[in-house]
Amino acid sequence: MRWDFNWKKRNRGHGLENKSAFPKTENFKITEIQFMIAVNATWQGEHGCIAYAFTPALPPGNKWNATQPIKVGGCDKGPFIYNVIPPTDGKSKVSVNVTFFSSDVIDAEPPSCQIPFNGTFLLPSPDGYDDELLPNCFVQDSREAVRGLACNFDNGLCEWFTVQDSTVTWKLGSGTTKDPSSGPDGDHSDTGNGQYLYIDGHEFINSTFAAEIRSPDLYILDNTTVSFWYHMNGVGVGELRVVLADRYGGTKTVWTKSGRQGPGWHQAQVILEDITAYIIFQGTTRLHYSSDIAIDDITVSREPYVITLDCAFNADTCSWIQDSADHLDWHRWYGRSPDLTSGPQVDHANTTEYYLLLKGHEAHSGNWTARLYSPHISINSPRNLTFWYHMNGAGIGNLRLYKENADGSNEVLFVKKGRQGVSWEQASVNLPVGFYKLVFEADAARHYSSDLAIDDIRLQDGPPLIG
């Protein structure tokens, strides 16, 4: 169970007349706070349960929802309780302890977390109360979320299993594979004597075949990163993909590598979203020879991870994720764009490095879009985001940057339409306080002369973004 207390505060009764002043700590008193609560009970029912609810303005020390349960989709009803305590981080003026008592799961140690208040959030607004968002606070129950996900394959598949309707399958292997021109010499361990999982390219009589292996069902409650090692070395190697399936039947490709990646094992990581139901590894081939692919040593970390929005796209897309549900793709590209009447000749830094490109000729409709989104980020004070864009061509469409809030609503932060000139241009956007995803969205007005590019995203210096 994940409860996100992210949260609107009603701060009354402190008697401030001077809105630029902050009360002395010893005289400060909170009389009531209003919370917005997000419930993620992924194990409930066929599709889980996700809901949002606002509490009334609550006094400290009173349990909420004995008479006002969160009754959206049958989600856990709580209750929770909060108390105001002295600050514990040495920086805040006061802290609020929130404890959740699950009505569905007996938990010997009910989870709790703290919300720090500082001066920024304690000044009254003109209408008499402060409506700004406070820092995030995540709590969870003791139910195991990622049981069976970690595996080194030395003793079998652990709790992973092959998808039965696949024409080709992943196999356990050790030592070298049958194909001497591809595949590893041993597993990823120091000795190389263990087992790994691999696909045998000789079994792929058709390049459209894909071998799939699936994780056990997951209950993602907090920040979860999955790491694994892969081996892709051969002229006939196809693609290795990591696909996340959600509780609502949707799937999203969050990681992919294509073609020969060189000898040796390489490490990769993917971040699991809180609605992830299970993970799929997909392997394909380009040729039926010299095309063995292997994976090994899947590990799980549930520690907070640092998100970086900075990206020049030289190695990959960093923390940014391609939306697999849109119509078009952002392509990592270097050098001249394929449309000679639009698009840049080089990246923004005027080097041979990469940038992200929307290929206008792939658009069959002006309604088709390409989207690139960040993980959820928590912005506790306004920060500036800059990036470079290139929009030059008669068929150029629109470029937008918007924030997607937890409730699904959107707010546009930046928009440009049509041809903007032959050079790279820099945009500067103020990121407001809140908890949301950032989304770059672009389209093409025509399927020719409409290549559009972005590059060098940079976030103003400040505290790390913790996911």
Specify the pairing of strand 465-466 against strand 452-459: unpaired
CATH code of residue 432: 2.60.120.200
The residue with greater pLDDT, 144 or 174, is: 174
φ, ψ of residue 323 in degrees (nearest 5): -80, 120
Same domain, 318 and 459: yes
Integer Cα distance of 409 and 436 in angstroms: 10
Please report the pLDDT score of residue 394 as a whole number: 94
pLDDT classification of 53: cutoffs 50, 70, 90: low
| 148 within a domain of the structure (yes/no) | no
Please report the pLDDT score of residue 139 as a whole number: 46
Quick: pLDDT tens for 357-405.
Answer: 999 999 888 889 999 988 878 787 889 999 999 999 999 999 999 998 8
Q: Is pLDDT at 140 greater than 50 in this prediction?
A: no
In this structure, are residues 411 and 405 in contact, taking their beta carbons and an 8 Å threshold?
yes
Same domain, 173 and 261: yes
Q: What is the mean pLDDT of residues 307-331?
A: 86
**How many helices and strands (H and E) does the chain possess?**
0, 30
| 222 within a domain of the structure (yes/no) | yes
Integer Cα distance of 223 and 466 in angstroms: 9
pTM value is 0.48
Buried b (16+ CB within 10 A) or exposed e, 400-413: bbbbbebeeeeeeb
Integer Cα distance of 102 and 140 in angstroms: 9
DSSP 226: E
Q: What is the mean pLDDT of residues 64-79?
A: 48
Same domain, 342 and 263: no
Same domain, 253 and 106: no
Cα dihedral sign, 57-60-65-68: negative
The residue with greater pLDDT, 465 or 353, is: 353
| 255 within a domain of the structure (yes/no) | yes
pLDDT classification of 250: cutoffs 50, 70, 90: confident
Same domain, 62 and 175: no
Integer Cα distance of 111 and 139 in angstroms: 6
Same domain, 289 and 331: no
Please report the pLDDT score of residue 3 as a whole number: 37
Integer Cα distance of 21 and 24 in angstroms: 9
Max mean pLDDT among 35-44, 143-152, 209-218 falls in: 209-218
Of the ranges 30-39, 144-153, 268-277, 282-291, which one carries the lowest mean pLDDT score?
30-39
Integer Cα distance of 274 and 270 in angstroms: 13
Max mean pLDDT among 99-108, 338-347, 373-382 falls in: 338-347
- Choosing from 301, 317, 348, the residue where a domain stops is 301
Strand pairing partners for 384? 430
Please report the pLDDT score of residue 245 as a whole number: 87
What is the overall mean pLDDT for the chain? 76
Integer Cα distance of 277 and 221 in angstroms: 11
Angle, CA of 399, 405 and 409, to the nearest 5°: 75
Integer Cα distance of 97 and 61 in angstroms: 10
pLDDT classification of 435: cutoffs 50, 70, 90: confident
In this structure, are residues 204 and 168 in contact, taking their beta carbons and an 8 Å threshold?
yes
Q: Is pLDDT at 72 greater than 50 in this prediction?
A: no
Q: Is pLDDT at 296 greater than 80 in this prediction?
A: yes
Angle, CA of 288, 292 and 294, to the nearest 5°: 155
Same domain, 240 and 366: no
Torsion region of 16: left, alpha or beta (phi above 0 gives left; psi -120 to 50 gives alpha): beta
The residue with greater pLDDT, 400 or 89, is: 400
Of the ranges 72-81, 271-280, 447-456, which one carries the lowest mean pLDDT score?
72-81
The residue with greater pLDDT, 257 or 271, is: 257
Please report the pLDDT score of residue 232 as a whole number: 95
* Closest residue by Cα to residue 327 from 297, 286, 364, 370: 370
In which residue are the tokens 């040729």 written?
Answer: 287
Please report the pLDDT score of residue 57 as a whole number: 66
* Closest residue by Cα to residue 198 from 159, 236, 171: 171
| 149 within a domain of the structure (yes/no) | no
| 377 within a domain of the structure (yes/no) | yes
- Choosing from 278, 301, 324, the residue where a domain stops is 301
CA dihedral 223, 229, 230, 231 (to 10 degrees): 170
Q: Is pLDDT at 426 greater than 90 in this prediction?
A: yes
- Choosing from 88, 114, 143, the residue where a domain stops is 143
The residue with greater pLDDT, 325 or 211, is: 211
| 370 within a domain of the structure (yes/no) | yes
| 153 within a domain of the structure (yes/no) | no
Q: What is the mean pLDDT of residues 149-177?
A: 88
Integer Cα distance of 101 and 41 in angstroms: 14
Same domain, 316 and 462: yes
DSSP for 59-73, please give it: -TT--B-SSS---ST
Same domain, 344 and 279: no
Please report the pLDDT score of residue 305 as a whole number: 59
Query: Containing domain of residue 168, as a range?
Result: 161-301
Please report the pLDDT score of residue 233 as a whole number: 93
Quick: pLDDT tens for 277-288.
Answer: 789 999 999 998
pLDDT classification of 88: cutoffs 50, 70, 90: low
Same domain, 174 and 128: no
Integer Cα distance of 22 and 28 in angstroms: 9
| 152 within a domain of the structure (yes/no) | no
pLDDT classification of 197: cutoffs 50, 70, 90: very high
Number of domains in the chain: 3
> For the chain, how are helix, strand and coil distributed in percent, rounded to 5?
5, 40, 55
Specify the pairing of strand 266-272 against strand 224-232: antiparallel
Same domain, 102 and 168: no
Same domain, 295 and 311: no
Q: Is pLDDT at 309 greater than 80 in this prediction?
A: yes
